[in-house]
């Protein structure tokens, strides 16, 4: 097993997602600070390591491409809240599960599995974990973060700051994405917050019709990342149950 | 080391098999109906439970259905190993070269001990006596354990099968199956391919019409290799009764043993086990640095008083660092809780791991299309760990059931560790929903993203504040205007604006199982959207409204 070559970040195809993170916390091919001299750009293009953008992101539905241009960046923590948060959380996970990633949901017994299936989630890669005791919550989620590409948590208790710090570091190290559902207190920084708002349902009309689709706006805010401040209108879900662009 | 110079028929081996060891280790006798589960499936049963139709591999529910009076226990593999050490230690009188395959199953080469005992029959009788005495000491009386089966044949594979067919209840060696030298191919010939231990290959062989090992062995080895690859070649060698050891076995490089010295000596198992984990990692690192993997490892311990204990562990699969570390811990526990003859009298000063048999590491080939991928295995391991932290049944996976309610068409079933032998496909967990029959009357999609496990009671009121009812023809008494929490006061002033209904659809009556008075269910469903944009599914059943689901 050959050790992969290490190159400075200036050679990478993409900007480092954690430019604002201290050196000790870096992920990716330049996890160890290197002291190489700058390589001429022409040479750099030819020796660029085959670290594809695909390996650093998880795929998302085309409808969410406006929020996540290159996909869901691995190693991030994302908060999802607002009316329609569960639908958005499911929509974020759909494409990853169909491409072989596993999803763990901790402490959300209400998650509508039928709706998830309707959105296109591969249920054979979904694992539901009962809400652990507050003391066991940290270790359980940390175990899952190491092994699952996506972990969705909906803690009912007040999560400790140490747990949150450890989980964020573990996400960065393992390249998992932690989705936090709801808008309770979270004693730490989330890399990205998605808030669903302005939901308007189409369909029911004084007893006639049925709930058909919901138009909602999703606003992203976060720290120093390129998708901060983006807002997109979605059909969450669309008439066929799948999230679509509005 | 075993004789590489033996005939192609394989090393003459004696296998001792204690049937239903997981039960004996838990102190359960064969007459009581007991089932031992591992990862949600039946691992072992007593004779009494077997008579009731419980079989290995069944789910907990099926086992309980077949034998409701059976006691259900969880597997305790550390205890199995710990208690088996007493048997292994007793066999030290028969042979110094014992190889533990797994708790309950061990083997040794016959060539040396047979000279000491004067004939194979005597050796078998002596072994049976030694094991019977050890088991009696361990559990109390002969009625509390199912005895042991002994098999002798050329090669460990055939000997293991012979031990499996031996009638364990016949004591004193009478129930042993001794395959005469050179008779191994004839012994194996009538057996089905399933005994080879590779289900996929056995399945193909049966479908090809090769329903015995004899028929498979009759094929030319080169053709088998060409068609089935290395796995097929190894299976063919087994079926032919040729030495079961892989021909790829490598001589062991001399400097692979790893050791750790404790100063001061270690008295506590957890400390030694902690060191063992690091040691196992080091061994694994050294082996993989040379492209090797270990199939047999010797655990050796030295104590302060100069005692020296060792035990050989074999594994059919290739031992990973976690497996080696577990074996070391079990072994240490076994020695510490073992009979006084083997129990160390002082702290451990040195722990050595010696790889005794190595093969080239081919790595695990993971599935390309379908099958288990690396991510699947990682996920399964994590699930097992979480189940260990939170208790059985805490990790669940969806299974398609079908139904008219969004909550009932997918049920959660306990995750049952399908990664076990890597042959099971995780995708079987959810059958394709679209393949099922239609459910007339099912809720139209899109379906609610939050289905409440416990529905909250509400009042649905009309403009005048009167409760909305539905008559026998499924018609609402008035359009719904307000959703009021059932405990809260009724009246527009006391209600938050969020509870005002802005749009609604329905009502949809649903009358299920009207033919069955015990299970009939009559409901009316209504979709309502309140002023804050939240859509809910409210259900009227037995005159009470409740929020069954939210379109979150």
DSSP state of B500: B
Let me know: does B58 contact B184? Beta carbons within 8 Å.
Answer: no
Antiparallel, parallel or unpaired: β A77-82 and B450-461: unpaired
Q: Nearest residue on chain B to A131, judged by CA atoms?
A: B394
Does A16 have pLDDT greater than 50? no
Does A136 have pLDDT greater than 70? yes
- A-B interface: how many C-beta pairs under 8 angstroms? 174
Q: How far apart are CA B201 and CA B208, in angstroms?
A: 11
B155: number of Cβ within 10 Å:
25
Residue B509, C-beta contacts closer than 8 angstroms, at least 6 positions apart: B470, B474, B522, B523, B524, B525
The CATH number of whichever domain residue B264 belongs to comes to: 3.30.1490.100
Q: How far apart are CA B88 and CA B90, in angstroms?
A: 5
Judged by a CB distance cut-off of 8 A, whether residue A114 touches chain B is yes
Query: What value does the mean pLDDT take over residues A175-196?
Result: 87
Q: How confident is the model at residue B491, as a pLDDT? A: 45
Q: How far apart are CA A70 and CA A91, in angstroms?
A: 16
Domain presence at residue B478: yes
Domain boundary (B412, B435, B458) is at B435
Q: How confident is the model at residue A141, as a pLDDT? A: 92
Q: Token digits for B179?
A: 């395959």
Per mean pLDDT, which range of A11-20, A208-217, B27-36, B543-552 is the poorest? A11-20
Q: Nearest residue on chain A to B394, judged by CA atoms?
A: A130
Interface test with B, best of A211, A217, A237 (most B CBs within 10 A): A211
Q: Do B185 and B53 share a structural domain?
A: yes
Let me know: does B260 contact B266? Beta carbons within 8 Å.
Answer: no
Q: Do B390 and B417 share a structural domain?
A: yes
A205: number of Cβ within 10 Å:
11
Q: B460 exposed, middle or buried (CB, 10 Å; 0-12, 13-18, 19+)?
A: buried
Q: How confident is the model at residue A179, as a pLDDT? A: 92
Q: How confident is the model at residue A244, as a pLDDT? A: 83
Interface test with B, best of A80, A81, A91, A113 (most B CBs within 10 A): A113
Interface test with B, best of A94, A97, A114, A174 (most B CBs within 10 A): A114
Domain presence at residue B248: no
Q: Do B338 and B231 share a structural domain?
A: no
Distances from the Cα of A23 to the Cα of A33, B13, B123, B296, B507, angstroms: 7, 59, 67, 43, 60
The number of folded domains in chain B is: 4
Domain presence at residue B306: yes
Q: Do B73 and B33 share a structural domain?
A: yes
Q: How far apart are CA B406 and CA B394, in angstroms?
A: 22
Q: Do B503 and B412 share a structural domain?
A: no
Domain boundary (B190, B208, B239) is at B239
Q: Do B27 and B153 share a structural domain?
A: yes
Does A106 have pLDDT greater than 90? yes
Q: Do B24 and B158 share a structural domain?
A: yes
Q: Do B196 and B313 share a structural domain?
A: no
Structure confidence at residue A49 as a pLDDT band (50, 70, 90): low
Asked if the ipTM is above 0.90, the reply is no
Residue ranges in B338-480 assigned as alpha helix (H): 374-390
Domain presence at residue B134: yes
Which residues on neighbouring strands pair with residue B74, listed in sequence order?
Answer: B37
Domain presence at residue B249: no
Which residues of chain A neighbour B531 with C-beta distances below 8 Å?
none
Residue B266, C-beta contacts closer than 8 angstroms, at least 6 positions apart: B272, B275, B347, B348, B349
Q: Do B197 and B301 share a structural domain?
A: no
| Torsions phi, psi for A178 (to 5 deg) | -105, 120
Domain presence at residue B246: no
Domain presence at residue B365: no
Which residue from B440, B451, B422, B412 is spatially nearest to B548, judged by alpha carbons? B451
Look up the domain containing B344 and give its range: 254-360
Per run of 10 residues, the mean pLDDT along chain B (length 552 residues) is 48 85 81 79 82 80 81 81 84 84 86 83 86 81 77 85 73 69 86 83 87 89 86 84 64 78 81 83 82 82 84 72 80 78 80 81 51 71 83 83 82 66 42 63 85 86 84 85 70 52 86 86 89 87 88 85
A86/B450 Cβ within 8 A: yes
Of A19 and B217, more confident? B217
Angle at A176 between CA A175 and CA A178, to 5 degrees: 140
Residue A228, C-beta contacts closer than 8 angstroms, at least 6 positions apart: A192, A220, A221, A222
Antiparallel, parallel or unpaired: β B544-550 and B450-461: antiparallel
Query: What value does the mean pLDDT take over residues A126-150?
Result: 89
Q: How confident is the model at residue A99, as a pLDDT? A: 85
Q: How confident is the model at residue B494, as a pLDDT? A: 44
Judged by a CB distance cut-off of 8 A, whether residue A110 touches chain B is yes
Q: How confident is the model at residue A153, as a pLDDT? A: 93
Q: How confident is the model at residue B425, as a pLDDT? A: 44
Let me know: does B297 contact B353? Beta carbons within 8 Å.
Answer: yes
Antiparallel, parallel or unpaired: β B348-360 and B450-461: unpaired
Angle between helical axes of B321-337 and B269-289 (0-180°, round to 10): 150
B382/A147 Cβ within 8 A: yes
Q: How far apart are CA B171 and CA B135, in angstroms?
A: 12
Which residue from B341, B358, B326, B331 is spatially nearest to B257, judged by alpha carbons? B358
Domain presence at residue B442: no
Which residue from A32, A36, A92, A79 is spatially nearest to A190, judged by alpha carbons? A79
Of B376, B390, B446, the CB nearest to A241: B446
Let me know: does B275 contact B259? Beta carbons within 8 Å.
Answer: no
Which residues of chain B neighbour A83 with C-beta distances below 8 Å?
532-534, 552
Does A10 have pLDDT greater than 50? no
Chain centroid to CA B169: 27
Q: Do B388 and B356 share a structural domain?
A: no
Let me know: does B390 contact A134? Beta carbons within 8 Å.
Answer: no
Q: Do B112 and B168 share a structural domain?
A: yes
Domain boundary (B329, B360, B391) is at B360
Q: Do B232 and B289 share a structural domain?
A: no
Q: Which long-range contacts (CB under 8 A, 24 or more apart) does B366-369 make?
A: none
Of B379, B412, B449, the CB nearest to A87: B449
Antiparallel, parallel or unpaired: β B98-102 and B308-319: parallel
Residue B325, C-beta contacts closer than 8 angstroms, at least 6 positions apart: B273, B276, B277, B279, B280, B281
Domains (range + CATH), chain A: 60-245 (3.40.50.300)
At A110-123, the pLDDT tens digits run 898 888 988 888 88
The CATH number of whichever domain residue B113 belongs to comes to: 3.30.70.270
């Amino acid at each position: 097993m050959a050790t992969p070559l290490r190159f400075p970040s200036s050679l990478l195809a993409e900007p480092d997602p954690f430019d604002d993170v201290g050196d000790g916390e870096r992920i990716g091919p330049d996890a160890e600070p290197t002291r190489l001299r700058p390589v001429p750009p022409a040479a750099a293009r030819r020796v660029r390591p085959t670290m594809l953008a695909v390996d650093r992101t998880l795929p998302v539905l085309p409808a969410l491409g406006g929020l996540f241009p290159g996909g869901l960046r691995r190693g991030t923590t994302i908060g999802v809240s607002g009316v329609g948060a569960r639908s958005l959380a499911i929509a974020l996970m759909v494409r990853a599960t169909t491409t072989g990633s596993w999803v763990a949901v901790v402490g959300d017994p209400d998650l509508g599995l039928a709706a998830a299936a309707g959105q296109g989630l591969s249920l054979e890669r979904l694992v539901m974990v009962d809400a652990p005791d507050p003391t066991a919550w940290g270790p359980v989620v940390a175990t899952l973060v190491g092994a699952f590409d996506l972990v969705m948590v909906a803690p009912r208790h007040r999560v400790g700051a140490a747990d949150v710090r450890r989980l964020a570091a573990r996400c960065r190290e393992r390249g998992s994405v932690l989705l936090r559902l709801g808008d309770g207190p979270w004693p730490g920084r989330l890399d990205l917050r998605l808030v669903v708002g302005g939901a308007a349902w189409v369909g029911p009309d004084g007893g006639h019709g049925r709930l058909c689709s919901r138009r909602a706006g999703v606003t992203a805010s976060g720290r120093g990342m390129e998708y901060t401040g983006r807002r997109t209108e979605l059909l969450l879900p669309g008439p066929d149950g799948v999230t679509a662009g509005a | 080391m075993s004789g590489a110079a033996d005939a192609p028929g394989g090393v003459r081996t004696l296998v001792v098999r204690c049937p239903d060891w997981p039960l004996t280790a838990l102190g359960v006798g064969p007459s009581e109906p007991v089932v031992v589960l591992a990862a949600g499936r039946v691992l072992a049963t007593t004779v009494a439970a077997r008579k009731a139709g419980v079989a290995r591999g069944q789910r907990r529910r099926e086992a309980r259905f077949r034998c409701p009076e059976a006691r259900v226990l969880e597997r305790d593999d550390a205890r199995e190993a710990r208690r088996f050490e007493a048997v292994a230690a007793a066999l030290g009188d028969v042979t110094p070269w014992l190889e533990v395959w797994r708790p309950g199953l061990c083997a040794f080469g016959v060539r040396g001990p047979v000279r000491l005992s004067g004939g194979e029959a005597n050796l078998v009788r002596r072994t049976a006596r030694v094991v019977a005495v050890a088991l009696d000491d361990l559990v109390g009386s002969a009625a509390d354990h199912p005895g042991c089966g002994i098999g002798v044949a050329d090669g460990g594979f055939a000997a293991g099968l012979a031990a499996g067919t031996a009638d364990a209840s016949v004591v004193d060696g009478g129930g042993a199956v001794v395959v005469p030298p050179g008779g191994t191919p004839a012994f194996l010939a009538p057996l089905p391919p399933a005994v080879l231990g590779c289900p996929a290959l056995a399945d193909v062989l049966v479908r090809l019409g090769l329903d015995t090992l004899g028929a498979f062995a009759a094929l030319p080895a080169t053709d088998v290799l060409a068609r089935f690859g290395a796995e097929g070649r190894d299976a063919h060698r087994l079926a032919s009764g040729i030495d079961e050891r892989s021909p790829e076995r490598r001589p062991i490089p001399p400097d692979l043993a790893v050791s750790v010295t404790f100063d001061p000596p270690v008295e506590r198992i957890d400390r030694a086990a902690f060191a063992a984990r690091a040691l196992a990692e080091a061994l694994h690192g050294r082996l993989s640095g040379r492209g090797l993997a270990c199939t047999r490892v010797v655990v050796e311990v030295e104590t302060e008083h100069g005692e020296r204990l060792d035990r050989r562990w074999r594994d059919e699969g290739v031992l990973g660092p976690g497996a080696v570390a577990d074996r070391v811990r079990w072994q240490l526990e076994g020695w510490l809780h073992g009979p006084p003859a083997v129990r160390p009298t002082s702290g451990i000063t040195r722990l050595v791991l010696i790889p005794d048999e190595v093969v080239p590491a081919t790595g695990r080939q993971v599935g390309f299309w379908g099958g288990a991928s690396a991510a699947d295995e990682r996920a399964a391991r994590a699930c097992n760990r979480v189940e260990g932290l939170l208790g059985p049944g805490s990790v669940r996976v969806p299974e398609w059931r079908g139904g008219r309610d969004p909550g009932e068409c997918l049920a959660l079933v306990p995750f049952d560790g399908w990664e076990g032998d890597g042959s099971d496909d995780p995708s079987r967990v959810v059958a394709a929903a679209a393949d099922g029959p239609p459910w007339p009357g099912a809720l139209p999609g899109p379906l609610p993203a939050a289905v409440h496990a416990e529905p909250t009671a509400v009042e649905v009121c009309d403009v005048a504040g009167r409760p909305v009812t539905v008559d026998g023809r499924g018609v609402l008494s008035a359009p719904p205007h307000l959703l009021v929490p059932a405990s809260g006061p009724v009246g527009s002033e006391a209600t938050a604006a969020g509870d005002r209904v802005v749009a609604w659809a329905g009502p949809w009556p649903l009358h299920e199982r009207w033919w069955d008075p015990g299970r009939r269910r009559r409901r009316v469903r209504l979709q309502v959207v309140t002023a804050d944009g939240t859509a809910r599914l409210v259900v009227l059943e037995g005159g009470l409204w409740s929020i069954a689901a939210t379109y979150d």
